[in-house]
């Protein structure tokens, strides 16, 4: 057990083996960042359309912030939660906390009251840093109303105007930088960040990562995809507060010494401008984001020569969208299978298009080994479908204050049970075969929404698709297909679109009963399609206009 009260479920001798093999840097996130400051102090560390900070400038800000954290009583093992738009401040908070041996617990903006209360309570946050308001909600008032139930929370910081009993984020970047002798010695196997993971539970969960696991795992993943001698310049479309966004600070700044490119919120037009002006060589995002950008005609009229690859993760992406993106962005495509819970596998720039379209990639044991097991926990034969489990240098310590989740999802020696199904083919590639819980049950038959979505997006006028369940008294659940179409095209009727799906080979028992159109599919705070909201929307409309649903498509 370490100073933060967390237990590492991976045996110590295994961590030591990875260190002896050079897979772990065995140094803190902050110390590694300082190495790059000394090597290239004037190189851009974090840049946006509004501002660029060099490594030297960012270090000064980090030291000032660490000094204020220290003065406010933050010590090793304390948890600093934050929920902010993408900015250099996010990276500074990560590094300042790491310098003190504290732990950051970031989560994307847009979370509701119940989720925020659960997250802060579960991680025992001592400090919270957030915007003054988001989406019309006074976040400071929300936090103040929750304080009686959050016994660990003592320090409130707002990114905005001063308020009573609140420190402002800007004020924390004033004053003298902390001196080196005032910084503690930080164990690289101690926790440095809690990654948020929604999974299939009713409440979001935290996963604890050490310095070594984040840098040696998620950082080295970036190193593996970047074969060029050119400095790594990564544009993050998803929030830095997500698990997918966690590689920005630890991977690019602390491990590779590259440049993090950010935009406060995802916006198609601004993203296209950033590609043109700031010249990223990698773009990280989720499928819906790339689908939206690829469909914008403006992308064809900018200089995209800096791009090496787009990296799509967070959700599966269909073959048609992959081809569209490769053509529209005119660069390589890397499909990433990963999660906050501790799994990583991805395609390579040397893989053929056929491999990228049908497989995930070859597991890299130096980052994360993959084992396919049956229902009894035994490894299956190569080519057989089973549950995907993972273990490697990137494996997290444990779930935070959730022993019931450790019991469910962590196996012997710390193996992570993903709940995903797949197999290893004869060439050593991981092939996904669905998710145990990602099914819609109609009349007793299990139906994969991913299969329906994949066929739907093959239509030349469809940008993105999501299939969600609708309650039905006779069948238990029926299917509603939600579509985003290209601008100006005629929207097919339900009968016309189901005919298209059937012509493409989709079985009759998988054809949707309902069809709904959106200008854009709603996204959750992590940037993924918010199927919970879609389901609620559809249920609401079904209750209000039942006859319209059975008559055909409902447009929105």
Assess contact for 291 and 486: CB atoms under 8 A: no
CA distance linking residue 209 with residue 396, whole number of Å? 5
**What is the 3 state secondary structure string of 263-324?**
CCCCCHHHHHHHHHHHCCCEEEECHHHHHHHHCCHHHHHCCCCCCCEEEECCCCCCHHHHHH
CA distance linking residue 102 with residue 535, whole number of Å? 39
**Tokens coding 83:** 């929920």
DSSP per-residue letters across 316-385: ---HHHHHHHHHHHTSEEEEEEEETTTEEEE--TTS-HHHHHH--B--BTTTBEEEEE-TTSPBPPTT--
CA distance linking residue 45 with residue 58, whole number of Å? 7
Phi-psi domain of 330 (left: phi exceeds 0; alpha: psi -120 through 50; beta: other): left
User: pLDDT at position 201, please?
Assistant: 55
Q: What would the pLDDT profile of 449-493 be if each residue is shown by its tens digit?
A: 888 888 899 999 999 999 998 887 777 788 999 999 998 999 999
Q: How many CB atoms neighbour CB 300 within 10 A?
A: 12
CA distance linking residue 537 with residue 393, whole number of Å? 42
Burial zone of 80 (CB within 10 Å; 0-12 exposed, 13-18 middle, 19+ buried): buried
E strand or H helix at 503: helix 494-503
Its pTM stands at 0.83
Q: Please report, in tens digits, the pLDDT of each residue of the chain (556 residues total).
A: 344 579 999 999 999 999 999 999 999 999 999 999 999 999 999 999 999 999 999 999 999 999 999 999 999 999 999 999 999 999 999 999 999 999 999 999 988 888 899 999 999 999 999 999 998 999 999 999 999 999 999 999 999 999 999 999 999 999 999 999 999 999 999 999 999 986 555 578 999 999 999 998 888 899 989 977 889 999 999 999 999 999 999 999 999 999 999 999 999 999 999 999 999 999 999 888 999 999 999 999 999 999 999 999 887 788 889 999 999 999 999 999 988 999 999 999 999 999 998 899 999 999 999 999 988 889 999 999 899 999 999 999 999 999 999 998 999 899 999 888 889 999 999 998 766 556 787 766 667 788 888 889 999 999 999 999 888 777 778 899 999 999 899 999 999 999 999 888 787 888 999 999 999 998 877 677 888 889 888 887 766 655 554 445 555 5
Burial zone of 20 (CB within 10 Å; 0-12 exposed, 13-18 middle, 19+ buried): exposed
CATH numbers and ranges of domains, the chain: 14-265 (3.40.50.12780), 358-436 (2.30.38.10), 440-555 (3.30.300.30)
CA distance linking residue 465 with residue 449, whole number of Å? 10
Position of tokens 């992959």?
A: 322
CA distance linking residue 300 with residue 278, whole number of Å? 17
Instruction: Name the nearest CA neighbour of 105 among 28, 189, 30, 193.
Output: 193
E strand or H helix at 95: helix 88-100
∠ CA(102), CA(108), CA(109), 5° rounding?
A: 115
DSSP per-residue letters across 133-185: EETTEEHHHHHHHHGGG-TT--EEEEESS--TT-EEHHHHT-SPPPPGGGSPP
∠ CA(384), CA(387), CA(391), 5° rounding?
A: 110
User: pLDDT at position 419, please?
Assistant: 85
Instruction: Name the nearest CA neighbour of 339 among 406, 396, 296.
Output: 396
DSSP per-residue letters across 382-403: TT--EEEEEESTT--SEETT-H
Sheet holding 462-472, edge to edge: 462-472, 476-485, 514-518, 554-555
User: With b meaning 16 or more CB within 10 Å and e meaning fewer, what string describes 270-299?
Assistant: ebbebbeebbbbbbbbbbbbbbbbbbeeeb
Say which DSSP state 509 is in. Answer: G
Strand, helix or coil for residue 510: helix
């Amino acid at each position: 057990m370490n100073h933060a009260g967390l237990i590492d479920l991976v045996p110590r001798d295994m961590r030591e083996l990875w260190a002896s093999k050079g897979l772990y840097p065995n140094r803190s996130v902050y110390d590694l960042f300082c190495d790059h400051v000394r090597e290239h102090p004037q190189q851009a560390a974090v840049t946006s359309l509004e501002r660029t900070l060099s490594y030297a400038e960012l270090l000064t800000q980090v030291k000032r912030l660490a000094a204020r954290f220290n003065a406010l009583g933050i010590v090793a093992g304390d948890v600093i939660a934050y929920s902010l738009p993408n900015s250099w401040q996010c990276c500074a908070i990560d590094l300042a906390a790491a310098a003190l041996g504290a732990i950051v617990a970031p989560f994307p903006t847009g979370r509701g009251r119940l989720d925020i209360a659960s997250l802060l309570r579960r991680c025992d946050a001592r400090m919270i840093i957030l915007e003054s308001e988001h989406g019309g909600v006074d976040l400071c008032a929300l936090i103040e109303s929750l304080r009686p139930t959050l016994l660990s929370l003592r320090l409130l910081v707002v990114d905005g105007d001063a308020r009573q009993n609140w420190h402002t984020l800007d004020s924390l970047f004033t004053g003298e930088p902390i001196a080196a002798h005032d910084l503690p010695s930080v164990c690289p196997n101690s926790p440095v960040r809690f990654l948020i993971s929604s999974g299939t539970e009713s409440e979001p969960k935290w996963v604890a990562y050490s310095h070594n696991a984040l840098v040696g795992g998620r950082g080295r993943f970036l190193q593996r995809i970047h074969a060029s001698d050119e400095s790594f310049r990564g544009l993050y479309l998803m929030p830095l507060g997500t698990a997918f966004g966690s590689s920005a600070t630890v991977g690019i700044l602390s491990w590779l010494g590259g440049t993090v490119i950010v935009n406060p919120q995802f916006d198609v037009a601004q993203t296209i401008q950033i590609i043109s002006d700031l010249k990223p060589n990698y773009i990280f995002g989720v499928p819906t984001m790339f689908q939206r950008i690829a469909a914008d005609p403006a992308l064809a009229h900018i200089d995209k020569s800096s791009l090496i690859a787009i990296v799509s993760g967070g959700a599966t992406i269909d073959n048609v969208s992959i081809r569209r993106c490769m053509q529209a962005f005119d660069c390589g495509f890397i499909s990433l299978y990963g999660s906050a819970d501790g799994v990583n596998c991805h395609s390579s720039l040397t893989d053929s298009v056929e491999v990228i379209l049908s497989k995930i990639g070859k597991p890299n044991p130096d980052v994360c080994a993959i084992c396919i097991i049956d229902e009894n926990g035994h490894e299956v034969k190569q080519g057989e479908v089973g549950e995907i489990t993972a273990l490697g240098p990137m494996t997290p310590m444990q779930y935070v204050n959730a022993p019931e989740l450790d019991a469910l999802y962590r196996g012997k020696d710390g193996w992570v049970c993903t709940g995903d199904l797949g197999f290893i083919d004869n060439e050593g590639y991981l092939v996904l075969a669905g998710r145990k819980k990602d099914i819609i049950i109609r009349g007793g038959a299990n139906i994969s929404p991913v299969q329906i979505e994949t066929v739907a997006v093959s239509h030349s006028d469809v940008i993105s698709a999501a299939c969600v369940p609708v309650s039905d008294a006779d069948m238990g659940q029926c299917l509603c297909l939600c579509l985003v179409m290209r601008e100006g095209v005629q929207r097919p009727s339900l009968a016309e679109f189901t005919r298209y799906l059937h012509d493409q080979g989709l079985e009759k028992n998988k054809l949707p009963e309902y069809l709904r159109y959106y200008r854009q599919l709603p996204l959750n705070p992590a940037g993924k399609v918010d199927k919970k909201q879609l389901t609620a929307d559809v249920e609401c409309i079904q209750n209000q206009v039942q006859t319209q649903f059975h008559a055909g498509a409902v447009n929105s």
